Amino acid sequence: MATINENFLKLQAGYLFPEVSRRVCSFQAQNPDAKIISLGIGDVTQPLAPVVISAMKRALDDMGTEAGFRGYGPEQGYDFLIDAIIENDYKTRGIDLDRNEVFISDGSKCDTANIQEIFGLDDTVAMTDPAYPVYVDSNVMAGRTGKADENGQYDRIVYMPCTAENNFIPELPKTPVDIIYLCFPNNPTGTVADKEILSKWVDFARRTKAVILFDAAYESFITDPEIPHSIYEIDGAKEVAIEFRSFSKTAGFTGIRCAFTVVPKQLKAATSDGRVVDVNSLWNRRHCTKFNGASYISQVGAAAVYTPEGKMQTRQIIDIYRGNAKLICESLTKLGYQVYGGVNAPYIWMKTPDGLSSWDFFDRLLQKANVVGTPGAGFGPAGEGYFRLTAFASPADVKEALQRFAAV
């Protein structure tokens, strides 16, 4: 009989969002008339920018002609999109990248989950607590951890708690680590990192020869000019950091699928016998072996985001979410809640009232206001006592949800 990869059995059962939806379904079944509003799952709701739609329609029409048909494209993505990314996202911030340092993919979830494959199984991983669950679970599946304890924390992972006490900014690990996951603007806490904070991490990684995996999925929500959009705005970051970006939250591509990963040529890692190896060529090999390229149509749509109309139209959509975030922060503050994030980020991280656990507050909010959020504990033990709201609902739903908060 075939055997399984037993690392999968170490994964925690009762994953966050299935449990949220179980409780919501059961409440709705008992209260069929309740109009539930979700400020829970981090998916966008606004329609795609018109310029993206027309570009994708044209691309599809091309595919129906003999001259315009395209089969497999380059695994790393089309140059037209790579060039638009380099010009608009990086050159404008003083960062030079070569085409072969950018890898187009069908999502940052896959990229942030898959990147660990090119690093050694004995490497020690450092992770913020709370964190996007993909980082932890992909390392568990790969066998880079031991079993989980009663808090759900895995042996051999170095956890970096992020709470109000440290302004949700992780402290440098006190024990040696090899791979560090950072996400700014942060999901779930909505925290951003300024130049000083990022420099501290880049310097630490250079000093200790660690690699930073920098998830910048929410960079387009940054408005403060002092906050870097890319980790490569920090001197020396190309030697130590891989950056992940996605069109999902930036341009509403959660259902279209297009993202990219930057692996600078200067980034090196070692073999067990101490030889120094180029990480870019390993990722290229992995990407080409296991991925056959993002769809041509998605890539044409993504490139349209960088046209002048594309920039303007996507900016307008982001502004809607930003307005929601502002309103949530202001209204909840007025009601006496302690709120964090929500500025330069689409997530609002609030302290649960009356010392409630995050799941107890989830139930109270669902029952009294028919509003759904996400319990902080679902993102890690340090998220206990906190609750995440997202700014991705429609403005009308956000307004209505906030009015109902007054009754909680």
If one asks whether residue 299 binds ligand PLP (CB under 6 A), the answer comes out as: no
Q: Which residue is nearest to ligand PLP (CB)?
A: 107
Q: Which two tokens stand for residue 175?
A: 């024990």
Closer of 351 and 388 to ligand PLP (Cβ) = 388
Q: Can you tell me the distance from the alpha carbon of 127 to that of 170, in angstroms, rounded to the nearest whole number? A: 9
Q: How far is the CB of 101 from ligand PLP (least distance, A)?
A: 19
If one asks whether residue 378 binds ligand PLP (CB under 6 A), the answer comes out as: no
Among 144, 229, 249, 388, binds ligand PLP (CB under 6 A): 249
If one asks whether residue 90 binds ligand PLP (CB under 6 A), the answer comes out as: no
Cβ–Cβ under 8 Å, residues 349 and 388: yes
Of the candidate spans 20-28, 82-90, 101-109, 284-292, the one that interacts with ligand PLP by CB under 6 A turns out to be 101-109
Q: Can you tell me the distance from the alpha carbon of 237 to that of 60, in angstroms, rounded to the nearest whole number? A: 39
Residue 7 is which amino acid? N
Closer of 138 and 246 to ligand PLP (Cβ) = 246
If one asks whether residue 374 binds ligand PLP (CB under 6 A), the answer comes out as: no
Give the angle 119-124-128 at the CA atoms, nearest 5°: 105
113-142: contacts with ligand PLP (CB under 6 A): 132
Cβ–Cβ under 8 Å, residues 259 and 222: no
If one asks whether residue 370 binds ligand PLP (CB under 6 A), the answer comes out as: no
Closer of 246 and 370 to ligand PLP (Cβ) = 246
Closer of 132 and 361 to ligand PLP (Cβ) = 132
How many C-beta neighbours within 10 Å does residue 64 have? 8
Q: Can you tell me the distance from the alpha carbon of 211 to that of 243, in angstroms, rounded to the nearest whole number? A: 11
Q: How far is the CB of 2 from ligand PLP (least distance, A)?
A: 30
Q: How far is the CB of 44 from ligand PLP (least distance, A)?
A: 9
Among 109, 144, 229, 388, binds ligand PLP (CB under 6 A): 109
Among 145, 189, 199, 246, binds ligand PLP (CB under 6 A): 246
Closer of 320 and 408 to ligand PLP (Cβ) = 320
Among 215, 219, 243, 384, binds ligand PLP (CB under 6 A): 215
Q: How far is the CB of 245 from ligand PLP (least distance, A)?
A: 9
Of the candidate spans 108-116, 196-204, 226-234, 382-390, the one that interacts with ligand PLP by CB under 6 A turns out to be 108-116
If one asks whether residue 383 binds ligand PLP (CB under 6 A), the answer comes out as: no
Taking CB under 6 A as the rule, which mask of x and - marks residues 172-191 in contact with ligand PLP? Answer: -----------x---x----
Q: How far is the CB of 29 from ligand PLP (least distance, A)?
A: 29
If one asks whether residue 388 binds ligand PLP (CB under 6 A), the answer comes out as: no
Closer of 246 and 280 to ligand PLP (Cβ) = 246
**Residue carrying the six token digits 């297009």:** 258
SS3 readout for the chain: CCCCCHHHHHCCCCCHHHHHHHHHHHHHHHCCCCCCEECCCCCCCCCCCHHHHHHHHHHHHHHCCCCCCCCCCCCCCCHHHHHHHHHHHHHHHCCCCCHHHEEEECCHHHHHHHHHHHCCCCCCEEEEECCCHHHHHHHHHHCCCCCECCCCCECCEEEEECCHHHCCCCCCCCCCCCEEEEECCCCCCCCCCCHHHHHHHHHHHHHHCCEEEEECCCHHHCCCCCCCCCHHHCCCHHHCEEEEEEHHHHHCCCCCCCEEEECCCCCEEECCCCCEEEHHHHHHHHHHHHCCCCCHHHHHHHHHCCCHHHHHHHHHHHHHHHHHHHHHHHHHHHCCCCEEECCCCCEEEEECHHHCCHHHHHHHHHHHHCEECEEHHHHCHHHCCEEEEECCCCHHHHHHHHHHHCCC
Of the candidate spans 5-13, 68-76, 248-256, 313-321, the one that interacts with ligand PLP by CB under 6 A turns out to be 248-256
Among 40, 42, 190, 376, binds ligand PLP (CB under 6 A): 42
If one asks whether residue 252 binds ligand PLP (CB under 6 A), the answer comes out as: no
Q: How far is the CB of 67 from ligand PLP (least distance, A)?
A: 32
Closer of 263 and 369 to ligand PLP (Cβ) = 263
Interface contacts to ligand PLP, rule CB under 6 A: 42, 107-109, 112, 132, 183, 187, 215, 217, 246, 248-249, 254, 259
